[in-house]
Structure 1
Amino acid sequence: MNLFNHLRLFDYLQISLRLVVFLAASIVYSTTNQLSYSRSLFGGGLTLAKASGTVLQLDIALLFAFGCTRLDGLSDIPKLRKLVYGYLQFERTRAHRLCAFSMVLFSLFHMIGHFAGFATAGNRATDGKLLKQLLLSSSVAITGYISICLLLFMSVAALAPVRKLIYSLFRYTHLLYIPLLVIWTAHASLHVIRINNGAIYSHGWGWLVWLPFGLACFAEKLYSLHQIWYPAKIVAAAYHPTGVIELSLNKAGFIASPGQYVHIRCPEISLAQDHPFSCTSSCDDSGAHFYIKSVGGFTNNLCQKLCHTRSGFDTADSKSRLFPTFLLSGPHGPSLTLCTEYDTCLLIANGVGLTPFISLFNYLLNMSQQQRSKIKLTKVHLYWICSSFEAAEWAIPHLQKFESNLGTMMFKMKMFISSEFELQDVEKLMSLDADSLIHDPVTHLQSRTWYGKPHWSREFENLAAPCKEQLIVITSGSSILSGEVRRNLVAFTRRPESKTQVHMHHVS
């Protein structure tokens, strides 16, 4: 079996489902006798509009279903997590984006169908004012114009460049889905256009398809608002080079599975804004630990709250200072423990994207000492790409611990420094000692440091050769890195000699 015959199978299932629904609805609306009068007026535009509207109702239902965070609990069921996250490659964020893209696409099809039908009706009518009435004064047109404007506005605000530049715009424009659903429901059910006392459209009840999913999603959101936020106090904090903040929060009973994240809110910064951050805590820790990269408005404000100066954190004063109280929501997201059901695990991260893997290594370290027989995993390979030595400083103690304690699991690591050499880096390499014969002279890790970027096709070839059974590839951090890895892995696994089963998972 080729490595990636099942690549993004869940995406293919979603697309196939929409095509089947669209074709089935087109056949029904083009043949049913209940719409014979409407078809005589609007022609094929009616079928296109109605079929596209049916897919839109399906998209709304799926959007609500994927919006339920309880789906992440599937990763805790051993018999389901390998099917859902391994073979089907299910990711809630990706499924959400696919639904949004489908909604925009079929909304445009729906609008084109309406315009084509209105033009056909205007040409067939003896009254020249009919087309103007249909386009400007009918309830179908008015609600359609408002809904398409809201949907396009939300879509533009959700684009990656806009989202990264103005995150608050993306966050608050997504709340427009509430009036958008109300307008869509009115658009689908309030068909009041009549010509010669004949109904153009029958009343639509398609919104009943997504209503149960919407009520379930709203109920979960209300429950989360009431139950999920709880206070936690900072017990330790440190500021590392390149803007990385290390936080330790005290919260009794807090347990996060490897790879899960927590939404953090600081009332002193914002009463409404929160951000997700991956936990690095192990299962035995009594609190929550995070590494936060200071890159945006929220994290910059957080850094200013915790640091005396921008040059660094006053660690001597850290125990006596009064830190702000945080509100935590979570943990959320699927667990990365599914990797223990594979023979070989390949972990790829860049920058602070290493944080989910730190919690995974802590979990593997505990399991190797207590329940080693329950782990199928025998080889762990880590590829970590950093911009400089300073950017990697915060994680070196963790990696040294894992190298020295995960030897039985054949832990192998390659750290790549992607930036060009500077004078201080050359000086470090020149000051070699006897210890550097067995350790890297800069990082003091057993694994040597590589420079540049990985040659992925060569790396995959070296990894797949000894792996004869199953391999899981987990990426974390930049979506650009994940896309690059996926493209190279797909190209590599299409070779005829590839026989190893490979699943891929991305930690968003």
Structure 2
Amino acid sequence: MGDWLVNEGPKWLILVLWFGINIGLFVGYFLFYHQGTQFYYLRLLLGHGLAWARAPAACLNFNCMLILLPVCRNLISYLRGSCGCCRRSIRRQLDKNITFHRAVAYMICLHTAIHFGAHCYNLELLVAAQTDPYNLPFFFYGNDTEGLISKLTSLQDGVNSTYINPIRLSNSDAIIEGLKTVAGVTGVVITLALIVMVSSSTEVIRRSYFEVFWYTHHLFIVFFIGLVLHGIGGIVRGQTNIDVHNPEECFRRYLEWSPDDATCKIPQFQGGGAQTWKWVLFPMILYIAERCIRFYRSQQKVVITKVVKHPSKVLELQMKKRGFQMMAGQYIFIHCPSISRLEWHPFTLTSAPQEDHFSVHIRIVGDWTGALSKACGAEEPEFQDAWKMPQIAVDGPFGTASEDIFRYQVGVLVGAGIGVTPFASVLKYIWYQYCNPDITLKLKKVYFYWICPDTLSFEWFADLLQSLENQMLERGMGDFLNYNIYLTRGWDANQAKNIILHEEENSDVITGLQQKTHYGRPHWDQIFSNIAQSHTGVSVGVFFCGPKGLSSTLHHMCNQHSSSDPRGVHFHYNKENF
């Protein structure tokens, strides 16, 4: 049985804290509006609907404060750098920023549904109280309060009197009355914006119609404007003169209410001021600063120095930019105005910090990547002049989990298909570091696993592995890097015969590497068992970039094979997230 806490403990601690705050806010505000004396008369009109509307509103304020923070990528990168002295378990949580962003969005949806539904119900009750108070369902006070309801709804704004029911006309339509208010209009707008944003953020839409996701997600601007304006109208009105009119004592004496009564004056009501802006102001300032940084970077000149079209629809771009500094495993956002004025797409850097350029390898799978390949002349047989290259902008680089590989004694790198890109940068950087006699690395052993769908995927990365393999053998470091390539499909009968005929040769018939290619899928349970036996008493960093299904398998393997003994081997799972 593995040590579940190695990878799950910090994550669940954060989730429990987050859930705890949500539950605490919900319960606290529910009781405040359910028991608060200042809302005694409003509860008479609305019953439980008041508390059910206001409690989720408090949770919405809290979660709307959080929702922007995980997508402030410069802030996340800054925190990652500032946490350099922190434990790995703390730093790893920063890599789950997009996962947390989604979780907060789902929580916002839940509380929005409760809040919206409760207010629709409340609006119907307010209309009914103004139209026919004698047919209202009285929740707490029995059936002897019809006259009190009529008295409350008849209160007007004037000398010694303020209203409690915002519905001022009898026989009104609840929908029309709701849309007459700032709260009603903004509530509908932000709810519709939220529905569109969440529905277009599903994995199917993001993968197949990224542009739809990108454009609709910018409705968050409308959402936050509406959110800040939502509470301006002060629809929820609490009593302000409890000191001269205690509703728990005076509600039965409603016929005696008067400005001259010392103990039961006419109750006065006032709507609460807007509160949401106090919660979201700071995150909004941070996000605006984030966008200003992105805009500044988008104005900096980027030069494309080399374009390479690799097999399996992979485009390599080598670029230069003044002042650009990177670390191994980081990623950038690329913007090409000639293709789209607004879209920015993330790509992992495949170059090392020591190289005089930075590069990305882009799989051509959609409209945007196809248009970029065409704009860069990758489809043209002849050499393209530099002045013909499209203008592009680069934002970043931003930190990822792969940066932390140098904090472990043993590293396990797993890439699937084009997911191998971050490890191109990492492996190059490791080699450059080892070639520097003035640097002593903590990392002593690297296991690299690459799962490829077909033989064409090997071409560009196999060249890098072959170069590293030759240089390490020359330096007597052949045991440092243990790499394993798995071909899952893509060979025919003739290729299979050719593989069998050359089985005894020193190099692999497909890749040209000394390490032979494996055919089929890795047996992860056996692989992790062997690593655990070979490296007892150390922390092993497992880094993955690829599809969700394989990620779940590797995550489970890390938990299963981590020792419950503090002195045993521990596998720390890290996944690339963009």
TM-score, normalised with respect to structure 1: 0.88
- Residues of 1 paired with 2:471 and 2:47: CA distance? 72
Aligned residue in 2 for 1:451 = 519
Distance verdict in 2 for CA 1:349–1:130, change over 3 Å: farther
3-state SS in 2 of match to 1:189: coil
Query: Equivalent of 2:96, from 66, 73, 91?
Result: 91
Query: Equivalent of 1:482, from 526, 548, 551?
Result: 551
- Residues of 2 paired with 1:386 and 1:354: CA distance? 9
Aligned residue in 1 for 2:261 = none
3-state SS in 2 of match to 1:79: coil
User: Which stretch has the larger CA shift, 287-296 or 143-152?
Assistant: 143-152
Higher relative contact order (CA 8 A, sep 6+): 1
- Residues of 1 paired with 2:553 and 2:512: CA distance? 29
User: Which stretch has the larger CA shift, 125-134 or 257-266?
Assistant: 125-134
1:328 aligns with 2:403: no
Contact 1:259 1:334 in 2 (8 A): yes
Aligned residue in 2 for 1:147 = 190
Aligned residue in 2 for 1:422 = 492
Match runs of 1:169-180 below 5 Å? 169-180=212-223
Deviations 1:392-428 (A, max 9, x none): 2111011123334453773212211111531352254
Aligned residue in 2 for 1:187 = 230
Match runs of 1:362-373 below 5 Å? 362-370=428-436
Q: What is the identity, as a one-letter code, of the residue corresponding to 2:177?
A: S
Distance verdict in 2 for CA 1:74–1:367, change over 3 Å: farther
How far apart are 1:92 and its partner, in Å?
A: 2.0
In structure 2, the gaps of 5 or more residues are 136-168, 239-265
Aligned residue in 1 for 2:541 = 472
Query: Equivalent of 1:218, from 272, 288, 294?
Result: 288
Aligned residue in 1 for 2:177 = 137
- Residues of 1 paired with 2:220 and 2:565: CA distance? 47
Query: Equivalent of 1:8, from 8, 11, 28?
Result: 11
Distance verdict in 2 for CA 1:497–1:191, change over 3 Å: same
Aligned residue in 2 for 1:36 = 40
- Residues of 1 paired with 2:114 and 2:350: CA distance? 46
Aligned residue in 2 for 1:300 = 370
- Residues of 2 paired with 1:366 and 1:32: CA distance? 67
How far apart are 1:381 and its partner, in Å?
A: 1.4
Aligned residue in 2 for 1:357 = 423
3-state SS in 2 of match to 1:85: helix
Figure out how many residues of one structure are paired with residues of the other and give that number: 501
Aligned residue in 2 for 1:501 = 570
Distance verdict in 2 for CA 1:378–1:486, change over 3 Å: same
User: Which stretch has the larger CA shift, 150-159 or 189-198?
Assistant: 189-198
1:280 aligns with 2:347: no
Match runs of 1:225-244 below 5 Å? 225-244=295-314
1:262 aligns with 2:265: no
Q: What is the identity, as a one-letter code, of the residue corresponding to 2:409?
A: D
Deviations 1:75-104 (A, max 9, x none): 324213724323x46422112111211111
Deviations 1:124-165 (A, max 9, x none): 773478796555412344432222111111111111111222
Aligned residue in 2 for 1:114 = 119
Deviations 1:195-217 (A, max 9, x none): 99875853341331111221221
Distance verdict in 2 for CA 1:426–1:369, change over 3 Å: same
Aligned residue in 1 for 2:69 = 65
Contact 2:61 2:279 in 1 (8 A): yes
Deviations 1:342-379 (A, max 9, x none): 22222111111111111111221122222676422222
How far apart are 1:320 and its partner, in Å?
A: 7.7
- Residues of 2 paired with 1:11 and 1:211: CA distance? 24
Distance verdict in 2 for CA 1:283–1:193, change over 3 Å: closer
Distance verdict in 2 for CA 1:424–1:255, change over 3 Å: farther
How far apart are 1:299 and its partner, in Å?
A: 1.0
Distance verdict in 2 for CA 1:330–1:308, change over 3 Å: closer
Contact 2:10 2:89 in 1 (8 A): no
3-state SS in 2 of match to 1:398: helix
Query: Equivalent of 2:27, from 23, 32, 56?
Result: 23
Q: What is the identity, as a one-letter code, of the residue corresponding to 2:402?
A: L
Q: Percent of pairs identical after alignment?
A: 22
TM-score, normalised with respect to structure 2: 0.78
- Residues of 2 paired with 1:504 and 1:182: CA distance? 39
Q: What is the identity, as a one-letter code, of the residue corresponding to 1:137?
A: E
Distance verdict in 2 for CA 1:17–1:465, change over 3 Å: farther
Contact 2:349 2:421 in 1 (8 A): yes
Distance verdict in 2 for CA 1:339–1:28, change over 3 Å: farther
3-state SS in 2 of match to 1:440: coil
- Residues of 2 paired with 1:371 and 1:73: CA distance? 30
How far apart are 1:247 and its partner, in Å?
A: 1.6
Distance verdict in 2 for CA 1:471–1:208, change over 3 Å: same
3-state SS in 2 of match to 1:236: strand
In structure 1, the gaps of 5 or more residues are none
Contact 1:81 1:338 in 2 (8 A): no
Deviations 1:470-497 (A, max 9, x none): 1222111323432343245445559899
- Residues of 1 paired with 2:563 and 2:16: CA distance? 18
- Residues of 2 paired with 1:283 and 1:145: CA distance? 50
How far apart are 1:442 and its partner, in Å?
A: 1.6
Distance verdict in 2 for CA 1:185–1:487, change over 3 Å: same
Query: Equivalent of 1:249, from 315, 319, 325?
Result: 319
How far apart are 1:249 and its partner, in Å?
A: 1.3
Distance verdict in 2 for CA 1:494–1:192, change over 3 Å: same
- Residues of 2 paired with 1:133 and 1:191: CA distance? 20
- Residues of 1 paired with 2:445 and 2:218: CA distance? 45
- Residues of 2 paired with 1:37 and 1:446: CA distance? 83
Contact 2:234 2:272 in 1 (8 A): yes
How far apart are 1:321 and its partner, in Å?
A: 7.8
1:317 aligns with 2:422: no
> More helix by proportion, 1 or 2?
1
Deviations 1:95-129 (A, max 9, x none): 21112111111111222332454466567773478
Deviations 1:17-40 (A, max 9, x none): 323333333333333333333233
Contact 1:279 1:288 in 2 (8 A): yes
Q: Choose 1 or 2 for highest CA Rg.
A: 2
- Residues of 2 paired with 1:342 and 1:308: CA distance? 39
Distance verdict in 2 for CA 1:5–1:260, change over 3 Å: closer
Q: What is the identity, as a one-letter code, of the residue corresponding to 1:501?
A: H
Deviations 1:225-266 (A, max 9, x none): 134442222222221111111221133432211121122222
Contact 1:235 1:319 in 2 (8 A): no
Contact 2:336 2:392 in 1 (8 A): yes
Query: Equivalent of 2:200, from 143, 157, 160?
Result: 157
- Residues of 2 paired with 1:268 and 1:357: CA distance? 31
